[in-house]
Structure 1
Amino acid sequence: MHQPQRYIAHFDLDSFFVSVEVIKNPALQHRPVLVGGSSERGVVAACSYAARKFGIHSAMPMKRALQLCPHAIVLPGSYKDYTRFSNRVTDIIAHAAPAFQKASIDEFYIDLTGMDVFFNPLQWTIDLRQQIMAATGLPISFGLASTKLIAKIATDEAKPNGYLFVQPGKEIDFLAPLPIQKIPGVGKHTLPVLQQMGIHTIQDILQFTPQHLEQKLGKWGQTLHSIATGSYDMPLENSHETKSISTEQTFAANTTERVFLEQKLVQMTEKVAYELRQEGLFTACIAIKIRYADFTTTSKQATIPLTFCDDELIPVAQQLLQQLLKPHQPVRLLGVRLSALSKHGQVPDLFNQINTKANLYKAIDAVKNKYGTFALQKGRSV
């Protein structure tokens, strides 16, 4: 039986937080803008392309960013506005797409497999991009390819505010000349090992067998070989059917520091709980994800009574982390995911109850909405 040609579109809102701020204040256009915490310990959550010319990037300490560009404009950020714009884009995609996955607040995958018998997948994706830009004013780039990963890499090549189609059968030709850093997951830990092996571009990976790469890099080596051949693929989680809120962070250096990991866990749980409340939702399931230096990935989840409260989610997250952590195993990625989400109309509406905890969180979120997402943080997360 003939298998339909797989088509995956990857949409990414360019410098999303900054783009929203520019819509709110057009005078920021083409200026070096940084969104994030302005304190000594603050980090850059997003930066404009004008700021990137100074060597600034996301996750950089704000102090260092301002040394590179002292005249940069620092904004605290408004997650309420970002969520509102993201939801508008989501609604447009959900209305048009046969199947899609919302990978993050500013990133979407659309599965167009088999739809080429009805329409031209490239023209359909171009039209959808135009519709999003016309409705929101946001710049957005896309890549179209036969797999999620190649579509994502194509989007990065198309930025800013462009698109790129990797035609079926041309995957290896597209990937071959690209630097290995273009592969998501190749960072400070893996890059020196690959360079020492003489691997500088994606095509260089194919000089080695999967077994040789596995000897050097563990399971990640086999994955790299699969990526270089264009055959590596991941399933698309249909957001028409599933709903979750998640965040994850790949660390600049692998770490075994438990205090650091717990600090990051608290920050991330606060972040997803805040987003949960902004969408008027409750969660009944929290999951923790860990990826180790050898790219072994493990996760664990717990079912909990419906809640939107940080102080109820954080102890469960900490308990899951303790159960997952392997002694002396360096961690490269940590993630938190909330699922089994419910609208508050299905349970007692805590937002409207006159009780101390609900009012406390309303006050906290009001401060974050006014002064920025990073304005209030728990002491243990600083």
Structure 2
Amino acid sequence: MERTIVHCDLDTFFVSVERLINGSLVGKPVLIGGSSDRGVVSACSYEARRFGVHSAMPMRLAKQLCPEAILIRGDMELYAKYSNMVTEIIEETVPVVEKASIDEHYIDMTGMDRFFGSWKLAQELRRRIIKETGLPISLGFSVNKTVSKIATGEAKPCGERRVEKGTEKGFLAPLSIRKIPGIGEKTYPLLRNMGISQIRTLQEMDALTLRRVLGQNGVVIWNKANGVDNSEVIPFHQNKSISKEHTFDQDTIDMVQLRKIMLSMADELAFDLRRDGRLTSCVTVKIRYSNFDTHTMQAKLPYTASERLISEKVLELFNKLYSRRMLIRLIGVRLSNLIWGAQQLDLFEDRIEDINLSRAIDRIRIKYGHQAIVRGFAL
């Protein structure tokens, strides 16, 4: 059976939501992110992009490039609300949905041709989302996730693009290698130094050559350049919380040890959030004493995946909660009120240095494992 995969992406999602609330923002350059000069741009409108502004850019530079831009702090709770509205509409229409991020979905429509016509159904679904939410959304349609995602990019803003089976290579050939998912900050300059700028050149190369240069990832990129991607659409399931606990071999009141373990748990949980593309707005600390009395305390915070912000809140809660001065048997940390959203989208007031450090650590951990690099407090 021929696969049919749809990719949907809400255009400039945060900006679009803000414009629903405040119509005067329509047509104007808009920046969403930290208001301090050390903050970063979480999202920006197409009008701001014409000045060279892009997400994750230092806010100070963005304001220099586009001094007329309107700066908005951002409201992750509001964005999550609209994201869930879109997800509910999609889930009502199709059986298999993967929510890749707060503004991005993959849909497997394989086998639905015999009922309605997959392309027509995808078009009607897009129109329904626009009508019921007021949000602009673009759509890509093909036989796999990679081609559909790239097709969505070519359909923007607020458009749709169908790539017929058998035409994937021709569709991809003239496009920039930047369009291929997986070619990032390190791989792109490496390929450009080899004189490769268009996907066509990758298609003409031997897969073994790319493997010698990029390792196994070179084969993955070669397959994607040739329109080959067998990855499945993973049905959407959202955990309500994530947590970690530590039970001591011997009950303790060693504050140095307790602090180190709590910070390590907060760091691991924050990494799990960023790896999965999620954010939290509620932190809970749990203490079980030697007599098995168990106490918890929780606190709200702005949606985040920052280990710095989460760690600060964990220590603050522990200091408030631990008042009995008894031996501790177990401590735990739980993150709840989870939503979808990438790391740079929530750190409205975080410094670009903190974000870059977290990204560097994340890349090492994803490649070599969590224990490949640890923060100083865990030593």
TM-score by length of 2: 0.69
* 2:105 is the alignment partner of 1:108: yes
* 2:202 is the alignment partner of 1:243: no
Query: Which residue number in structure 2 is paired with residue 230 of structure 1?
Result: 227
Matches within 5 A, 1:120-269: 120-239=117-236, 242-244=237-239
SS at match of 2:131: helix
Query: Which residue number in structure 2 is paired with residue 282 of structure 1?
Result: 241
Matches within 5 A, 1:298-337: 315-316=264-265, 318=267, 335-336=275-276
SS at match of 2:121: helix
Deviation at 1:185, TM superposition (A): 2.4
Matches within 5 A, 1:42-53: 42-53=39-50
Structure 1 pair 26–304 and aligned structure 2 pair: CA distance change class (3 A): farther
Deviation at 1:235, TM superposition (A): 1.3
Tell me how far apart the structure 1 counterparts of residues 51 and 37 of structure 2 sit (CA, whole Å). Answer: 20
SS at match of 1:224: helix
Structure 1 pair 133–304 and aligned structure 2 pair: CA distance change class (3 A): farther
**Cα offsets for 1:103-130 (capped at 9, x unmatched):** 1110001100111121211110010001
Larger Rg: 2
Query: Which residue number in structure 2 is paired with residue 357 of structure 1?
Result: 297
Give, as a single letter, the amino acid of the residue that structure 1 aligns with 2:54.
Answer: H
Structure 1 pair 232–313 and aligned structure 2 pair: CA distance change class (3 A): farther
8 Å CA contact 1:149–1:233 kept in 2: the answer is no
Tell me how far apart the structure 2 counterparts of residues 104 and 212 of structure 1 sit (CA, whole Å). Answer: 33
Tell me how far apart the structure 1 counterparts of residues 60 and 276 of structure 2 sit (CA, whole Å). Answer: 27
Give, as a single letter, the amino acid of the residue that structure 1 aligns with 2:113.
Answer: D
**Cα offsets for 1:261-317 (capped at 9, x unmatched):** xxxxxxxxxxxxxxxxxxxx3334xxxxxxxxxxxxxxxxx6889xxxxx9986325
Give RMSD over aligned pairs.
3.2
Q: Alignment identity in percent?
A: 42
Query: Which residue number in structure 2 is paired with residue 288 of structure 1?
Result: none
8 Å CA contact 2:39–2:348 kept in 1: the answer is no
TM-score by length of 1: 0.68
Deviation at 1:375, TM superposition (A): 6.3
SS at match of 2:43: strand
**Cα offsets for 1:132-185 (capped at 9, x unmatched):** 010000000000010001100000000000000001111111111111111122
SS at match of 2:174: coil
Give, as a single letter, the amino acid of the residue that structure 2 aligns with 1:195.
Answer: R
Structure 1 pair 96–68 and aligned structure 2 pair: CA distance change class (3 A): same
Query: Which residue number in structure 1 is paired with residue 321 of structure 2?
Result: none
Query: Which residue number in structure 1 is paired with residue 315 of structure 2?
Result: none
Deviation at 1:225, TM superposition (A): 1.3
Query: Which residue number in structure 1 is paired with residue 6 of structure 2?
Result: 9
Structure 1 pair 374–171 and aligned structure 2 pair: CA distance change class (3 A): closer
Give, as a single letter, the amino acid of the residue that structure 2 aligns with 1:109.
Answer: Y
SS at match of 2:275: strand
Tell me how far apart the structure 1 counterparts of residues 296 and 115 of structure 2 sit (CA, whole Å). Answer: 56
Query: Which residue number in structure 2 is paired with residue 62 of structure 1?
Result: 59
Deviation at 1:365, TM superposition (A): 4.7
Higher RCO (C-alpha under 8 Å, 6+ residues apart): 2
Structure 1 pair 198–337 and aligned structure 2 pair: CA distance change class (3 A): closer
SS at match of 1:283: strand
State which drifts further: 200-209 or 62-71: 200-209
8 Å CA contact 2:36–2:349 kept in 1: the answer is no
